[in-house]
Amino acid sequence: MSLFLVYLAGVIGFYIIIYYNVIKCSTCKSTAVLKGKTAIVTGGNTGIGKTTALDLAKRGARVILACRNKRRAEAAVFDIRRESGNNEVVYMQLDLGSLKSVRSFAETFLKTEPRLDLLINNAGETSGGMIGPGRTEDGFGMVFGVNHLGHFLLTCLLLDLMKKTGRGRVVNVAALLHRLGTVSFSTLAAHKDLVTGQRTWDNFQAYCNSKLCNVLFTRELANRLEGSGISCFSLHPGVISTELGRNQSWWLRLPLVPIAKLFFLDAEAGAQTTLHCALQEGIEPLSGRYFSNCAVQEVSAKARDDAAARKLWEVSERLCGLS
């Protein structure tokens, strides 16, 4: 029995060390009030996107939920309005897998909204959702098209309004797995994707590659926005339990539940670094940097490659028809 107790104490001690040093997330400390300001949250109908939108609404912002699924988005609007007491929460249709839809969203937004203060590029295909093969409406790999190209075009189309509005921020939700990513421009040119296959490993690699694109995009965006009053940041939100196995059958998700409860963040904790990057006062000089756990972090060597970041921007412009 004594050996069992020693073993149990060791396991508990190990978990406590892991929890407080790896899992436990810092909290956004900003007290910013957003009355009169407008924010877009892509994918704001679920998970950390919905939690982010709720926080912004509680601070008084006009919040646009830019989502693909109308039913889920309208349900989220109802929930956020009720919980925040803010009726300035609205849904606008956006399918990041369609460049036509991105352009339509931007056109409608620019016609109907006089300002844009915060652009939270949160939506995306997730590794936790065990994404499968597929192509966007424009023929690009689904993960590359949604996680990078759709957000790239959306940001470019809205930048002029952000500049007119004044000081604003663009926040790109990336991931720690950008460290495993690569960007092969020859593969992209040949396959309209950053991977060549459609196996499970290719899907995982596509996710990592797209997250590297998020970090590189943020880096180059910061260079191009210098002196404009707009800052931008990329971030790792943590491993979120709400996304784990999102598209899997219940019998595959069931064994993951206790693991998720013990080791992964809930949506509220997962949204904290996004909120920090969107709201924290005084971090503007860190524009272009990457955050995790509400603090600036170093990125992989590939994510610090300014030449690759510049080329990715130029290639993305051509793929989106901006040049």
pLDDT at residue 266, rounded to an integer: 83
Burial of 147 (0-12, 13-18, 19+ CB in 10 A): buried
Indicate which residues carry an active-site annotation: 207
State which residues form the domain around 207: 30-320
265-285 mean pLDDT:
94
Q: What gap in Å lies between CA 1 and CA 21, rounded to an integer?
A: 30
Q: What gap in Å lies between CA 143 and CA 133, rounded to an integer?
A: 9
| 121-159: pLDDT as tens digits | 999 865 444 455 689 999 999 999 999 999 999 999 999
Residue 10 included in any domain: no
Residue 5 included in any domain: no
Q: pLDDT band at 9, cuts 50/70/90?
A: low
pTM, two decimals, is: 0.87
Q: What gap in Å lies between CA 193 and CA 135, rounded to an integer?
A: 9
Residue 72 included in any domain: yes
Residue 11 included in any domain: no
Residue spans of alpha helices (H) in the chain: 2-18, 47-58, 70-84, 99-112, 142-144, 151-165, 185-191, 200-225, 250-253, 257-263, 267-270, 272-279, 306-320
Residue 230 included in any domain: yes
Residue 8 included in any domain: no
pLDDT at residue 32, rounded to an integer: 96
Beta-bridge partners for 44: none
Residue 219 included in any domain: yes
Average per-residue pLDDT for the chain: 88
| 79-121: pLDDT as tens digits | 999 999 999 999 999 999 999 999 999 999 999 999 999 999 9
| 14-25: pLDDT as tens digits | 444 444 444 456
Q: What gap in Å lies between CA 251 and CA 264, rounded to an integer?
A: 19
CATH assignment of the domain containing 289: 3.40.50.720
Q: What gap in Å lies between CA 163 and CA 308, rounded to an integer?
A: 26
Provide the domain count of the chain. 1
Residue 231 included in any domain: yes
